[in-house]
Structure 1
């Protein structure tokens, strides 16, 4: 199981690295590495899930997860995007939300025949 989680994280990192490299070709590699790391975190993936409303489709039977997801979603909805982009939020992102994004990414990656460019477009 850990190997597959590792592979998913690498695919997301590779897709973001590829996009950043193509978009910011004049930026040095250490800056690109920092940008990539900042965008492949649990918090960033969880924010993407909330921004697209996917957290509303989580099936679960634990009240604590509902509360954590609601608290995080409310915090994201009430934040100023400019501040969050640099400093992160005040509420810890539930890992289950990042797991949703990772699952979507891997399914799309398979569906586009392992093409990073097509993955990024989707």
Structure 2
């Protein structure tokens, strides 16, 4: 659409982002029909289709006519429900496990990396309405905290969980639907310790003093060093265009590998 303004006999044109109304309605219709595939993927039929629709509208999606709902509220309730059902399952499965172990198990089963991987595996990102570049190219791999996974995929998974809960009003239904998708559930036997935690445990056992030193950071890169406490020797360094937590884990992994090879 072009907006025209007469100014001294000259027409000035301003290009305005505007989706053709009929074209948008047709896109909306096709998208709504495609959401039936989501029901097949998760094995649940919604009574209220609007909840399913809302779960797949990201905040970045642009509506020219009027602002509409997005999936943030469903993501919020989905996060809480997921934590509850995982807590309940772990508490039941491992009656002798102390709270610390249960907490680590829950964190591993509901972290962004795992949820993003599940969403990608199920292809849920294909149905998300958004204005983000490159989303279809994001295929997360489980990395034990060493790869920066797209949070939007985890958020979508939580929004769908929230939608199922609001539609069914039943945490039992939520668990029945999503247990299959979340499997394998990480157990005490398969639980991997994040590199930072493993490094601290290794150093404590071997009476080694270390500290993390944050290097120069900018908008594109973050840097972390692991330094021995007694002589300031750098034993692990990581530089990455990712979250600080990921860079810190990579530095810890490098330091841990160095210490293990040195001591052994």
User: If the length of structure 1 is used for normalisation, what is the TM-score?
Assistant: 0.71
1:53 Cα shift? 1.4
RMSD: 2.5
The Cα offsets for residues 4-39 of structure 1, whole Å up to 9 and x where unpaired, read as 555432221111111111222232222111111122
Task: Name the residue aligned to 1:112.
Answer: 168
**Residue number among 87, 103, 119 corresponding to 2:159 in the alignment:** 103
1:117 Cα shift? 2.2
Distance 2:104 2:84 in 1: 13
CA contact (8 A) 2:77 2:162 kept: no
**Residue number among 44, 47, 54 corresponding to 2:114 in the alignment:** 44
- Tell me whether 1:61 sits opposite 2:117 in the alignment: no
The Cα offsets for residues 46-92 of structure 1, whole Å up to 9 and x where unpaired, read as 111011111222222332xx2x551x31x53xxxxxxx37x2453x1
CA contact (8 A) 2:82 2:161 kept: yes
Question: Over alpha carbons, which structure has the higher Rg?
Answer: 2
- Report the structure, 1 or 2, having the larger strand content: 2
CA contact (8 A) 2:78 2:162 kept: yes
Distance 1:12 1:55 in 2: 19
Distance 1:22 1:117 in 2: 14
CA contact (8 A) 2:79 2:162 kept: no
Secondary structure at the counterpart of residue 62 of structure 1: coil
User: If the length of structure 2 is used for normalisation, what is the TM-score?
Assistant: 0.36
